[in-house]
Amino acid sequence: MLDQPKYKTTDEVDFIIIGSGAAGGVLAKELSGNGFRVVVLEQGPYLTEADFTHNEVEVVNRNQLTNHPELQPATFRRIPQEKAKRHRALVYGGMVGGSRRLAYSLR
């Protein structure tokens, strides 16, 4: 892990970036690399390699790569007249490093 500065809630910073996805992560790196004080806020936890498993069933059951259906419901329907149903959104990834909310679902 890179040496990351720690800021107190009372410290003044130059930029606050919401989300560390593809754009947010690159922007934070470029700004901080040019001497700016940057804080990135992310909705999920900071995970390490030890937090992951190579058990695909467990990954799905623990909602590690999707939204949590009860906490972050995502609904989908095929046509406007159909009633929307809750599904997991594949590649949601609510963790440091970002995500893309795609309209794919696990069925």
What is this structure's pTM?
Answer: 0.52
What distance in Å separates the CA atoms of residue 25 and residue 43, rounded to the nearest whole number?
14
* C-alpha closest to that of 45 among 96, 104, 98, 102: 96
**DSSP string over 50-77:** GG--S-HHHHHHTTSSB--TTTS-EEE-
Strand partners, 18: 41
Q: 20-63: per-residue pLDDT in tens?
A: 777 888 999 999 999 999 998 877 667 777 777 788 888 777 77
What distance in Å separates the CA atoms of residue 35 and residue 87, rounded to the nearest whole number?
43
